[in-house]
Every structure is written in structure tokens, then in C-alpha cells.
Amino acid sequence: MNALLTVNNLSVEYHSRGAIVPAVKNLTFSIAKGHTLGLVGKSGCGKSTAGLAIMGLLPENESRVKEGSLFFQGRNLLNQDPEAWRLTRGREIAMIFQDPFSSLNPVFRIEDQIKEALDPKSGSGHSARAKELLDHVQLKDSQRILNSYPHQLSGGQRQRVMIAMAIAQNPALLIADEPTTALDVTVQADIMALLRNLQREYHMSVLFITHNLGLVKGFADDLAVMFKGSIVEQGPTSQILKNPQHPYTQGLLNCIPKLAPSTGPIPLLADEYMEA
């Protein structure tokens, strides 16, 4: 397997009120070029912390990487200086966050924010490219949206804007951190279909972070299940879903409701299915 990203024994800890709290413990996984890894676990298990560590966005003075390495395209990201991190983010690795409303700046128009994603230093020009990106993520009336502020858009529209910003510089790796959490079930399905199509079109590698095991089926090539900061089971998605070995993975699968055939199928996408 030609790995784009290799995470080796990554451990991250937070400092809180004089105490040291381990958030991620000896995390090890890899993502091949053009493949998708689903990182699954309940809220608080450390999966988002892992994504922030890969992006170099851990909060300063509150957390630190205790040990481990993050090899991306042959170089250890943890050895980068701030300028190298700035060049890596967006150009090579991009991230979609779970709440687009808090991720977008409320006082700038959408067009200005997409331009900044295209050119972080000046944020100028690129009007045609901004419209092209919105068209590419299937946003109708893209010119109106470019002239809008975040509060004037629906949740699904805001998330599509965030996806447009994430793919603006054609990154090799896309980290999607709970990208459908704030959306209703039908919009979740649309966003998942969009991400799947973009992943194939751009041949991106994707780290898909979620607590909803129902979302990874048919999307992730491989699966890593996290519990209390550690990976307890990983392997091909189809294999784990068919024959889970760890009790926690079995518990996650049991949270998905099994309906009688007469009731008809329903999308297994709602967040509440996996909260138990």
C-alpha cells in the first residue's frame, strides 16, 4: 500500500487546571493515496483531537503531542516550523469542521471567504474561481450565495461552502470531522454523496471522522474504531461491519436499529442512532 499519511504511536495530552489529561494514546494508522479511512467513536474519544494534530491546529498552551510521528508524503509534519504548517494547510491537507456556522466568519461575505481560501495572503481576485467552486459543489444560484453572509444560508448550503473552500487548492488529503452532524437526515445523505463524488473526482485521500457507524458503510475503504483515546479495532470496512471482533465495535453496530422488513428501509444516518 502506497501510504499518503502514516500516523505512528501518536499520543496527545491536554493540560487542564494543573492536571494532565491524555486524549489520544499510541494512535497508529495509515491512509493510502486515493483511499478513505473512517475514524469512528463516540464523542470525547479523541478522534477530533487526532484530526487537529494532523492539521497542526491543536490549541497552544493547552495541549501537546507527547510522542509519535505524522509522516505525510514522506516528511514528518511534527518537525515543521509555523511557515511550513501554513503552506501545508489548505494546499496539501484541508479540513471540514462539523459546524459550518461557527467555522465561517459572520462579518464577511461568502465570496471573500472563498477568495481567502484560494489566496490566504491577499484574499484578492479569483471571483470566477469562487463561483466555479460553488457550482462544483452543486450550489444553485451561486452568484447570490457569493454575495451572502453565512447567516443568510441554510445549514446544508453553509456546509457545501465549507467543502468548496476545502477543495479550493486541490489538497491531497481531506479531513472531514463530523461534516453532517448539524444537518438533518436528508441533507446528510446529499452531503455524503457529494463528498463521495469529489473524493473520486479529485482522487483525494479522506480521513472521515464520525460517531455514526452507519455513515461509513459504502464510503470508507478502511475503518478504525476508537475508544477512550485508543484504536481498539481496524481493518477493511466491509470486514469489520460483517464480523466485528471488539465488544465496543459490536456495541456500536447494535445501536443501529433493525426494523422489520414490512416497515421498509430508512436511512441509517441520524446522529441519535449512535448516541447510546
pLDDT in tens, 15-52: 988 899 999 999 999 999 999 999 999 989 999 999 99
**Amino acid at site 177:** D
DSSP one-letter string for 170-181: --SEEEEESTTT
Nearest to 65 by CA among 25, 113, 123: 25
Alpha helices in the chain (DSSP H): 47-55, 82-88, 100-103, 110-118, 127-136, 142-146, 155-166, 185-202, 213-216, 237-242, 247-254
**Residue 15, helix vs strand vs coil:** strand
- Let me know: does 205 contact 174? Beta carbons within 8 Å: yes
Percent of the chain past pLDDT 70, that is, above it, reads 90
pLDDT in tens, 61-115: 899 999 999 999 999 999 999 999 989 998 999 999 888 888 899 999 999 999 9
> For 3-86+207-274, which CATH superfamily applies?
P-loop containing nucleotide triphosphate hydrolases (3.40.50.300)
C-alpha cell at 224: 478504525
| Residues 152, 158: Cα–Cα separation, whole Å | 9
Q: What pTM was computed for the model?
A: 0.88
